[in-house]
Structure 1
């Protein structure tokens, strides 16, 4: 929980933080929080309605399948599943403990690689898998 959430959800902490604020400042905060609350409520209602519509469509499909005598087993092979393709390792190091570390070169530099680069004064190109 962040500090601001701790302050906002504890009345005594909030009171202490508001001691030096003017009435106008407090009113502005209340208006802003009320607007945020309304936005959140609308968003939640939209999500609930979308879920309700989705479930109604699923129920309709189930009913249609039942009426046609089709079960999930009959169509499960038609369902396309998407999986992320694993990216091949592009760099490899062996640390001081003899442990091998591999990295695709994507994303943030793993700690083991950063420590290796700093210690040996090399770049990732020196660790390229050939």
Structure 2
């Protein structure tokens, strides 16, 4: 039987500690009480943190309502702060008929490298 099962069953626990004298049993009880108090303190702190988090959320919601803001306003703000998309500089129509575009920045896409390896000039693909 594992240790946790023994602790959870009074009769199993009684059998496990039958050879201990009262002083040793008091030490076990004292240690278990200390562990219990520590576990209660941790649970209380977690509950306090959760309540503080919920209070902060409600406070922010109240301030947003007072200011006439919504979550959409923040999403719009994030979109406007992002880097503008770089326009493609080169276009190559693949064998599947789909256009492949590249801005000329970063690693050259495989389709453009293959085109050059077959003797093509990348400047011929420039978008005017």
Counterpart for residue 43 of structure 1: 42
State the shift of 1:67 in Å.
Answer: 1.2
1:22 aligns with 2:21: yes
Q: Equivalences for 1:100-119 in 2 at 5 Å? A: none
Counterpart for residue 121 of structure 2: none
The 1:76–1:37 alpha-carbon spacing in structure 2 relative to 1, beyond 3 Å, is farther
Q: Equivalences for 1:59-70 in 2 at 5 Å? A: 59-70=58-69
State the shift of 1:44 in Å.
Answer: 1.0
Alpha-carbon distance between aligned partners in 2 of 1:50 and 1:11, rounded to the nearest angstrom: 35
SS state of the match for residue 20, structure 1?
coil
Alpha-carbon distance between aligned partners in 2 of 1:8 and 1:66, rounded to the nearest angstrom: 52
The 1:55–1:27 alpha-carbon spacing in structure 2 relative to 1, beyond 3 Å, is same
Question: How many pairs does the alignment contain?
Answer: 78
Counterpart for residue 99 of structure 1: none
- Any stretches of 5+ residues in structure 1 without a counterpart? 80-130
SS state of the match for residue 21, structure 1?
coil
- Any stretches of 5+ residues in structure 2 without a counterpart? 79-128
Larger radius of gyration: 2
Root mean square deviation of aligned Cα: 1.9
Superposed CA deviations along residues 89-121 of structure 1, whole A, max 9, x for unmatched, are: xxxxxxxxxxxxxxxxxxxxxxxxxxxxxxxxx
The 1:64–1:24 alpha-carbon spacing in structure 2 relative to 1, beyond 3 Å, is same
1:54 aligns with 2:53: yes
What stretches of structure 1 move > 6 A for 4+ residues in a row?
Answer: none
SS state of the match for residue 13, structure 1?
helix
SS state of the match for residue 7, structure 1?
helix
